[in-house]
Amino acid sequence: MSAELHEAYNDGDLILCVGSGASVAAGLPDNTQLAWQLFAQAAQAGGYFDVESLRAWLGQGRIAEVLEQLKFHYADDFQRQIERLLSDQGRALPPLARQIAGLRSKLRAVYTTRLDRLIERAFEGRWPSFSSARPGLAQRSGVVFKLCGTLEFHQSWVLTRDQLEREFGPSGPRRRVFEAAFSAHQMLFVGFEPGSPEFQWMLDMMPAQVDGQGPSHFITLPQCSPAERHQLQLRGLQVIPREPLEVLAALGGSTDTVQQGSLTLDRSPYPGLEAFSEELAPLFFGRHAEVSQATALLAQHDGAEPRWLAIEGPSGIGKSSFARAGVVPALRLGFADGTSRRWRVATIRPGTTPLMNLAQALCQAFAINDPQRMFHELAQDSRTLVNLIRQRLPPGENFLLLVDQLEELVTIAPPGEREPFATVINQAITTRSAYLITTTRSDLVPAIQRGLSSLAGRLNEDIAQRYSLPSISRAGLREAICEPAARLGVTIAPDLVERLLVDADDRAVESKDGETRTATSALPLVAHVLQGLWLPEYIADGVIAFDEYMAIGGLTGALSRGADAVLASLDVEGRSQALSLLLALVRVRAEGDATRRVIDLAEARELAPDHVLTMLSGGYAGARPGARLIMIHDDHGHCEVELVHEALIRDWGTLREAIAQQQDNLLLGEDLARRADKWDARGRPADSLPVGRDAIELLEVVPRGRDRELQAEFQLALRRAMRRRRLTTGGVIATTLSVTLGLAAIFLDPKSD
């Protein structure tokens, strides 16, 4: 074994460059085998297809050209075929991948030519992975660089001739990263075959060395001819004539990795319609590539010091889980280059009492026992958080404030608390070692820009980075389906996995970057149906089967069937009360879309008694997974109620039908809330009150939500104004009638002449 190789590894200067060997050992095809399989399938299907020419090209090793022609032939189905053939889900990690991961403590980086996720799985998500060239990547350590792209991002793939020329031609961006790393560090190549097209284009990127100038590099080749050895030496590659696994084992490291069935959990590993918490991060799968992208935006390099990561996306896309179980744990693993791995995190949802919620979260993060005092200090001094960080944060530690669902500041928080809260945050993110992560519904970003202009203005400064979270990819969804169960020793049957993907694809959308991704509504539905399948009778044999999936109603049927079962457990009066409450938890906008509304527990109890609330919240004995329709939050003594997820609004037929039937009334309720708020903001002038039919309709609405007292006062002002108008109108009519009668009397009196 080369002493120089050992030295490079122990010095942390060794980059491992991995070819197809590990993937082939796992039963996956290399690019040549991939092309042959796609070719055979296309030839069997028939149609317009130049079979003989492509067969000849395959024999000549023109693999990239063949894949280019097959991409054209398969058209929109090409992506799906590649995902199917290269998916490593359900395949055991090969020893080579485990051994590579075992070297991570001293390894500088791993570069791989494969689209599959074997390396990321072996590393258990401990290193970020990148599938495109980015500034400083060649100098960064502790990363996986996927030279040919990753299965999750279709637009990152490098398979065809055009793609190879674009990325690895003389001025290709990925070639520049490889050349910079090759020139600055030492590389060990494993899993390559000398005569393969894959290794040939790798060799083409290696500059020929003159008189041994440049760092030494190594390649493991059990068999190598003298001519091949000479050619490799010209590129600075020392041949190690041993098996890759033997060479890696000699370097040391540990091969301990998480095995199937290695975790224990007393409930379903799928949270259903609820968000993942940081505690459930070991069960959060399918978003590693996106997490790597997002956390990299907080990297501190080249003088840039971003402090705010603003995660945006439509409702139901998984922003809360992504931030809590994805981004925060990744920061603790060092995914944001240049930042400490020690993080003190305070997590809040603004709710109806944002300053109090912030006070409580800060007290928990900094072990302070007086949230009421903290609340008053935050309200009186906008630099309270700044001072707290400076006084209590140990050296070498970062503070992170995670504000989940930032839009609540402008949708349900009292107007008087919005600006003070925003000012506290504005002050804090200019402080060294302080960071902010927010999640926001993309359709409500304009509302934040209007209602919190001082904070929103920061989004256009260098201090902030915005990340638009896409829908989960099919490859990611496959992993999110299979891995949580596997960690508990349960297998999702292959035919069920494929059916779930097909059912999710029925809602598929094409993103602006050309990536085919599941619709925003698919992810919560998949999580919900998997939670519903996690029953003792289904998991007892270690396999969740396709017929069990169909038995609970499939992807959309499971949600409706489970929710309807909750209603069916109530009597007629209870069902009516439950629907009244559920409708009160829905807000319908003028555009026609419906979203969740938060109401006080006291208001909820006016609509439904406690036993109905218990049934809807899944708080009864024997409640099955997924039976929870509402959440009741204890917000420091102020209890609030909301729907567990907006998927209930979109996909539960009973509630959707009730919303359609009551849409006019729901819109009137929104109109009442909007007019009352505007009337109050203007100082409650009587002359701004509506008249005529508008006024009559607004008086028929029952006030709902956090501002129902204001709405009731607005209605009272309406009644008084209408009464005054009636009295005034009556007086005018009486006076007019009196004058008219008087004039008539004079005109008819004979003596009037």
- Per-residue pLDDT of 173-191, as tens digits, reads 999 999 999 999 999 999 9
How does residue 88 score in pLDDT terms, banded at 50, 70 and 90? Answer: very high
pLDDT of 734 reads 57
Q: Is the dihedral of CA 293, 297, 298, 299 positive or negative?
A: positive
pTM above 0.75, yes or no: yes
Average pLDDT over residues 616-629: 76
Average pLDDT over residues 25-36: 96
DSSP 301: B
More confident residue, 747 or 320: 320
Task: Give the model confidence (pLDDT) of 703-712 as tens digits.
Answer: 877 778 888 8
User: Which own/partner contact pairs does 660-668 have at CB distance under 8 Å and 24+ positions apart?
Assistant: 662/583, 663/588, 665/701, 666/583, 666/586, 666/587, 666/588, 666/594, 667/588, 667/590, 668/697, 668/698, 668/700, 668/701
pLDDT of 687 reads 81
Domain 3-27+93-251 and domain 557-661, same fold? Reply is no
Q: What token pair was written down for 314? A: 């439509």
Report whether pLDDT(135) > 90. Answer: no
The answer to whether 384 touches 424, Cβ cutoff 8 Å, is yes
412-416, 417-421, 740-744: range with lowest mean pLDDT: 740-744
pLDDT of 746 reads 62
Query: Domain spanning 3-27+93-251: which CATH class is it, in words?
Result: alpha beta
Domain boundaries, the chain: 3-27+93-251, 29-87, 287-468, 557-661
pLDDT of 516 reads 44
SS (H, E, C) 415-482: HHHHHHHHHHHHHHCCCCCEEEEEEEEHHHHHHHHHHCHHHHHHHHCCCEEEEECCCCEHHHHHHHHH
Out of 1.10.10, 1.10.287, 2.40.128, 3.30.870, which CATH number does the structure's domain 557-661 have?
Answer: 1.10.10
How does residue 665 score in pLDDT terms, banded at 50, 70 and 90? Answer: confident
Task: Give the model confidence (pLDDT) of 263-303 as tens digits.
Answer: 667 789 999 888 999 999 999 999 999 999 999 999 987 77
How does residue 509 score in pLDDT terms, banded at 50, 70 and 90? Answer: very low
| Bridging pattern class, strands 129-130 and 143-146 | parallel
DSSP letters spanning 171-212:
T-HHHHHHHHHHHHSEEEEES--TTSHHHHHHHHTSPPPSTT
Instruction: Quickly name the fold that domain 287-468 has.
Output: Rossmann fold (3.40.50)
Question: What's the CA gap between 457 and 420, in Å, rounded?
Answer: 16
Q: What token pair was written down for 126? A: 């401990």
